[in-house]
Structure 1
Amino acid sequence: MSDRNIKTRLYAGRTLRDLRLASGLNQRAMAGRLGLSVSYLSQLETGERPLTPAVSAALARHYPQALALIEGEAPARRLAALEAALADPTLPPVASGEAARLAEERPDLADHLIALHAGRRAAEERLALAEEAFTAGAGARLPWEAVRDWFHEAGNYVDRLDRAAEALAGETGVEAALAAMGIAIALDDREDAPLARFEHATLTLNAAAPIETRRFLAAHRLAATAFAEPIAAIVAAAALPGDEAGRLLAIGLANYAAGALVMPYAAFRSAARDLRHDIDRLARRFGVSFEQVCHRLSTLQRPGAEGVPFYFCRVDMAGNITKRHSATRLQFARFGGACPLWHVHEAVAIPDRILVQHAETPDGVRYVSMAKGLVKSSGRFERLARRYAVVLGCEAIHAADFVYADAIDRRGLATPIGISCRLCPRTDCDQRAFPPSDRAISVEPNVRRVVPYRVM
């Protein structure tokens, strides 16, 4: 390869991903449009591979403006990617200004460093996924796993639906829009009534459900009706395995659009910034629940108007992660429980109290997060209430925009958390349930420790 070819290589992972999301496409559909394999597109989006002449030509045919933007912003992107790679805590520190000098004077070497760092992170992620798949057992993904993975690949942001919902929200209220479509709303006060039932142009809601829940269910029905065509198109392009996965995705997309209807993007993002992402205040302002605000905050990834990148998940009493998404570098285990040092487990047992944590993952990245235990009443004594906790967090560099960070001393020690015990490389954790899958252990029969082995 000539020096000229090396110097002109372009890494455009974030721009490609934003372009795909703005087009309402998943990776399979985008790869088909550009004539690539899904795995190759994934490597392009993660920055593991640079653009080739063939990929640039495909972009020029389908997205000429995006290609011009990529080529025009290449130096700035190179510097940003290089600074991120050199900030890896496993590398020696680099003097201020050296990254900029390297990117300008030796772009070929800078590109090599960026690619090496991206390749290392991708290899770590593949190892983690392989371990999780082994732990969970062989076999095809279950329908809800396929849908969960689809939203993860989409970055938990669906531009086509988000913009359509925002436009509709600006025209009229949810109930008025349903009435205009000939859909009536009724209440069912029977104890065994489902949360919602739609038949004969009537949406019947459980009268015992909280007002925020009923409002969201009405928005779901409006979204499913008003956006039936784009939802069907997205489901068809997703090509998920089996009819049930497609139906679950359609429900998930209608739920997504419902959140965008009751919390329109621009207004909600502006309010979130003004209130420093105070969840209770946002819930009151938009008439929604605590959990709905947390979920919506994790979707604010509109290209050019991104919100603070958050991670969000919901954990039940047994430690199962029932909802998860991360726009940060922190990724959740696909199977099994989460790190026992994570404050979300304590929050489950202490409902209606907000816990705040300053934590550090094994890669050296620090996070601030809040967790709150929630209880959803069953409506009667004989049926147990639903108990779970939600957690919302961001990287510590965004702490000034996150009101909950005010409760911690970020100069102090951070809690050393991991993803899950089987994937965590820490050698000195007393809370381990299992040793890491890729490390040997040493058992000393005559030495008693909290954990009966040492991780080598």
Structure 2
Amino acid sequence: MSKVFMGARLQRLREERKMTQAALAKALDISPSYLNQMERNQRPLTVPILLRIGSVLEVNPQIFSEHDSASLVADVRDVLSDLPGTEPTSLAELKMLVENMPGVARAILQLQRRYRMTAERAESLEAQFDSNEANQGSLPPSADEEVRDYLNRRQNYIGELDDAAESLPDNSASALRHRLQLRGVTVLTAPGEDVLTHKRRYDAQQQVLWLSDSMNASQQAFQMAAQLGLLEHAGLIDTLVTQAALSSDAARAGARLALSNYYAGAALMPYGAFLQAAETHAYDIERLAHQFGVGFEAVCHRLSTMQRPGQSGLPVFFVRVDRAGNVSKRQSATAFHFSRVGGTCPLWIVYEAFSQPGRVLRQIARMPDGGTHLWIARHVSTGPSGFNAPSKSFAVALGCDISQAHRLVYARGLDLQDPSAATPIGTGCKVCDRSDCPQRAFPSILLSRERQGSRSTP
């Protein structure tokens, strides 16, 4: 394990709990001067100290992990690289900022997000004036990234909901339906024409839960479990949403939906049983889907949440994209990162999945910084059956660091140690510094700035 210097983060945790250095030092069984040196980054946080900090301050020691900071470093680097007329910021400076002042780093991301929203509104208004159309109001703010950031801060693991879901005595579809009925809720199915917008609709006044008849049994069970979570654990979910400190009603509604879906996944795939099965079957997603009666995407999503302290699963990155490259889901328990401002990489295996539906594809991919990952990808679709019926089509991908790839069944037959077996991919054209990429769509901001810097150097 590399040395960890995150003194400002430790100091912030101590101050949030209104503890003096002397009090925390006593609780950790170290001298106040030792604690003072750690908070001033003059001494590293050792593994035994990290474990004691986690116990005393009741936090997951992984908040001091470099993996926890790497995606935030990459996000801030993207934002600063996208600002015109600014000097390049070194990676060492960014790491120091994120590791010691993560709140400031997240504030930078929030400022950039608001700037982007303001720019979009300005462009919309300009287009309306240019076309002599009446003003139809400003663009509604998107809350998806804010909810995603909240889940990433929790490392995609919501222990309170996992514990609540594991207490369910029976997670079968019939048991979930009966449990809803005991709460006075009637479960009915509706025609599948609304599947693109409503997988479930709950009428609180009539106490009727409508499910689309285009869903299969496992999908209906998932939606019943999600609604059950909103009813039986409303107070817990409200508390989690409040603690998230989201900025808008849309973000709070999105968080409530995400948390109810998290509960549903945890109910159908209870943490302990699911982790044991995953390890037993070497993370064979199709076998896990069959065992727990869920879909391929649901298993991938669940694998990205297995971060229980002392009982964690394989650290993975999960993403879902459409044919146009829009990323609709992105969760990471690793240091892997794709840019928010430059799109994703066309050389990434996830896009090949659209041309080979039904097959699980594999790729060893190497990032510009040398980080190498094993990726699997598969095409999935949802929607009603029938000729010309509307449906949704996505590709989902699951990846892990190459050092952990041997734990996956998908690594069998691959030479994980051969550098030539890896496909060079990037974080997105705008912020990718590969100068020899055959698939580049437009110039890199980083490369153009390096050229400007070299011309200005005497």
**TM-score, normalised on structure 1?**
0.71
Task: Please tell me whether the aligned partners of residues 361 and 416 of structure 1 are also in contact (alpha carbons under 8 angstroms).
Answer: yes
For 2:438, give the aligned amino acid: D
Output aligned runs, 1:169-188, within 5 Å: 169=169, 173-188=175-190
Distance (Å, rounded) in 2 between the aligned partners of 1:147 and 1:351: 30
**Structure 1's 121 and 367: CA in aligned 2 closer, same or farther, altered over 3 A?**
closer
Task: Please tell me whether the aligned partners of residues 48 and 122 of structure 1 are also in contact (alpha carbons under 8 angstroms).
Answer: no
In the TM superposition, residue 116 of structure 1 has moved relative to its aligned partner by 12
Note the residue ranges of structure 1 that are not aligned, 5 or more in a row: 1-9, 13-46, 81-113, 444-456
In the TM superposition, residue 171 of structure 1 has moved relative to its aligned partner by 8.4
1:138 maps to 116
Distance (Å, rounded) in 2 between the aligned partners of 1:304 and 1:115: 15
**Correspondent of 2:288 among 282, 287, 301:** 282
Pair 1:197-2:157 in alignment: no
**Correspondent of 2:224 among 218, 223, 233:** 218
Distance (Å, rounded) in 1 between the aligned partners of 2:271 and 2:184: 27
Note the residue ranges of structure 2 that are not aligned, 5 or more in a row: 39-43, 52-63, 85-111, 119-140, 452-458
1:317 alignment partner, SS class: coil
1:138 alignment partner, SS class: helix
**Structure 1's 74 and 352: CA in aligned 2 closer, same or farther, altered over 3 A?**
same
1:126 maps to 76
Distance (Å, rounded) in 2 between the aligned partners of 1:257 and 1:336: 33
1:168 maps to 168
In the TM superposition, residue 408 of structure 1 has moved relative to its aligned partner by 2.2
Task: Please tell me whether the aligned partners of residues 366 and 396 of structure 1 are also in contact (alpha carbons under 8 angstroms).
Answer: yes
Output aligned runs, 1:341-420, within 5 Å: 341-412=347-418, 413=420, 414-420=422-428
Task: Please tell me whether the aligned partners of residues 132 and 333 of structure 1 are also in contact (alpha carbons under 8 angstroms).
Answer: no
In the TM superposition, residue 60 of structure 1 has moved relative to its aligned partner by 7.4
In the TM superposition, residue 190 of structure 1 has moved relative to its aligned partner by 5.6
Percent identical among aligned pairs is 35
**Pairs aligned (count):** 366
In the TM superposition, residue 375 of structure 1 has moved relative to its aligned partner by 2.3
Task: Please tell me whether the aligned partners of residues 353 and 377 of structure 2 are also in contact (alpha carbons under 8 angstroms).
Answer: yes
**Structure 1's 346 and 190: CA in aligned 2 closer, same or farther, altered over 3 A?**
closer
2:437 maps to 429
In the TM superposition, residue 170 of structure 1 has moved relative to its aligned partner by 5.9
1:306 maps to 312
Q: What is the alpha-carbon root mean square deviation over aligned residues?
A: 3.7
Task: Please tell me whether the aligned partners of residues 11 and 78 of structure 1 are also in contact (alpha carbons under 8 angstroms).
Answer: no
Per-residue CA shift, 1:36-72, capped at 9, x if unaligned?
Answer: xxxxxxxxxxx374634x7546557499799639989
**TM-score, normalised on structure 2?**
0.71
1:236 maps to 242
Which stretch shifts more, 165-174 or 383-392? 165-174
In the TM superposition, residue 264 of structure 1 has moved relative to its aligned partner by 0.7
**Structure 1's 277 and 425: CA in aligned 2 closer, same or farther, altered over 3 A?**
same
In the TM superposition, residue 418 of structure 1 has moved relative to its aligned partner by 1.3
2:96 maps to none
For 1:244, give the aligned amino acid: A
Task: Please tell me whether the aligned partners of residues 4 and 46 of structure 2 are also in contact (alpha carbons under 8 angstroms).
Answer: no
Task: Please tell me whether the aligned partners of residues 430 and 444 of structure 2 are also in contact (alpha carbons under 8 angstroms).
Answer: yes
Distance (Å, rounded) in 1 between the aligned partners of 2:158 and 2:194: 34
Which stretch shifts more, 376-385 or 320-329? 376-385
Distance (Å, rounded) in 1 between the aligned partners of 2:315 and 2:29: 23
**Correspondent of 1:51 among 1, 10, 31:** 10
For 1:177, give the aligned amino acid: R
Distance (Å, rounded) in 1 between the aligned partners of 2:296 and 2:26: 37
**Structure 1's 116 and 316: CA in aligned 2 closer, same or farther, altered over 3 A?**
closer
Distance (Å, rounded) in 1 between the aligned partners of 2:439 and 2:211: 45
**Correspondent of 2:302 among 296, 301, 320:** 296
**Structure 1's 66 and 175: CA in aligned 2 closer, same or farther, altered over 3 A?**
farther
**Structure 1's 434 and 307: CA in aligned 2 closer, same or farther, altered over 3 A?**
same
Task: Please tell me whether the aligned partners of residues 169 and 264 of structure 1 are also in contact (alpha carbons under 8 angstroms).
Answer: no
